[in-house]
Amino acid sequence: MSTLFISDIHLCAQRPDMTAALVRFLEHDAPGADALYVLGDLFEFWIGDDDPNALHHQVAAALLALSQQNVPIYFIHGNRDFMLGQQFAKQAGMTLLGDPCIIDLYGERVLLSHGDLLCTRDEGYQKYRRITQLKWLRWLFLRLPLTRRQAIAHKIRGQSRMEKTVKRQTIMDVTPAAVDEMLRAHHCRMMIHGHTHRPAIHNFTLDGQAARRIVLGDWFEQGSVLVCHPGEQHLEVRTLPEG
C-alpha cells in the first residue's frame, strides 16, 4: 500500500535521460501504487495541447499505460506547464487538480501544491504568475500560430534562466509565513509541494501542534520520489540512465 508523488521533471527533447528515467519509473515502480500525483513542471514548457511534439506523445502513452493498470494519476499545474489542458490529460489518463488542493492520504488531511504560490518574496514572479492565470490571456495565446507560441516560450525560458542567476536563493525559496498561512486556511498539518528543487522533510510546530512540509526534488541529476505508506513518508532517489 503506497501513494507516490513526483514533480519538477522538466522533460524536454534535450534530456532524453530524464524521459527514460520517468518511463522506467512508470513501467516498473508505479504499477500497484494506490495513486500517483504529479505536482507540476512535468514538462520544461507547454505551449498547447495541439503541439505535435513526439516527446509529449511518448509520455502520454506511458502515463496512460499506468492508468490502465488501475493506478489513478493526478496532476497539478506547475509554472512551466500551466497551459496543459484537458485534451492532453485525457490522452495521458490523468485527472487535473486545482492548486492548492486537499486529499485524504490514509486518513490524514494533506495539502498539495506545486509550490510557487509559497515563494512570496519573489514579487516579480508573483506578478508574472497573476498575469499568466488570466483566462482571457490564455485564450488569446492558444489561438496564436504554433510557431509564434514556440518563439514566445523560447524567449520566456531564456529570461527565466537569466533571472535565476541573479536572484538570491532565499528569494527563490518558500516564505515560512506563507506556508503557515496556507496550512491554517485549509485546516491541514501536512503539506507536499515541489517547485524549489530542494528535497527535504521539514518538521515544525504550527499553533502548538506538530506539522510537516515535504518538498519534492527535481530530476536533473537524479530522480526524486516521495513514497507514502499509512503513517509514514520517505523521499527516495532514482538514478538516471547513462549516456
Determine contact, residues 75/103, Cβ cutoff 8 Å: no
- Identify the pLDDT of residue 91: 97
Q: Which residue has the cell 486545482?
A: 98
End-to-end Cα separation, the chain, in angstroms: 34
Q: Is position 95 within any domain? A: yes
Is 121 labelled as part of a ligand binding site?
A: no
Is 127 labelled as part of a ligand binding site?
A: no
DSSP sequence for 129-164: HHHHT-HHHHHHHTTS-HHHHHHHHHHHHHHHHHHH
- Give me the number of domains the chain comprises: 1
Is 90 labelled as part of a ligand binding site?
A: no
Is 79 labelled as part of a ligand binding site?
A: yes
- Identify the pLDDT of residue 23: 97
- Global pTM? 0.92
Is 114 labelled as part of a ligand binding site?
A: yes
Cβ atoms within 10 Å of 203's Cβ, excluding its own = 9
Is 155 labelled as part of a ligand binding site?
A: no
**Measured distance CA(103)–CA(110) in Å, rounded:** 5
Q: For residue 89, give its domain range.
A: 3-120+172-239
Q: Is position 23 within any domain? A: yes
pLDDT tens digits in sequence order for the chain, 243 residues long: 899 999 999 999 999 999 999 999 999 999 999 999 999 999 999 999 999 999 999 999 999 999 999 999 999 999 999 999 999 999 999 999 999 999 999 999 999 999 999 999 888 888 878 888 888 888 888 889 888 888 888 777 666 554 544 444 545 789 999 999 999 999 999 999 999 999 999 999 999 999 999 999 999 999 999 999 999 999 999 989 875
DSSP sequence for 182-216: HHHHTT-SEEEE-SS---EEEEEEETTEEEEEEE-
- Identify the pLDDT of residue 136: 87
3-state helix, strand, coil in the chain (%, to 5): 35, 25, 40
Cβ atoms within 10 Å of 235's Cβ, excluding its own = 16
Is 10 labelled as part of a ligand binding site?
A: yes
Q: Is position 126 within any domain? A: no
**Measured distance CA(95)–CA(104) in Å, rounded:** 16
Is 99 labelled as part of a ligand binding site?
A: no
Determine contact, residues 43/4, Cβ cutoff 8 Å: no
Q: How far is CA 172 from CA 50, 125, 181, 208, in A?
A: 32, 10, 18, 28
Say whether the peptide bond before residue 176 is cis (omega within 30 degrees of 0).
no
String of b and e for 148-162 (b: at least 16 CB within 10 Å)? ebbeebeeeeeeeee
Q: Is position 57 within any domain? A: yes
Q: Is position 211 within any domain? A: yes
Residue type, 150: Q
Is 186 labelled as part of a ligand binding site?
A: no
- Identify the pLDDT of residue 161: 53
Q: Is position 134 within any domain? A: no
Q: Is position 180 within any domain? A: yes
Is 50 labelled as part of a ligand binding site?
A: no
| Strand pairing class (209-215; 200-206) | antiparallel
Indicate which CATH number applies to the domain containing 194: 3.60.21.10
Q: Is position 86 within any domain? A: yes
- Identify the pLDDT of residue 38: 98
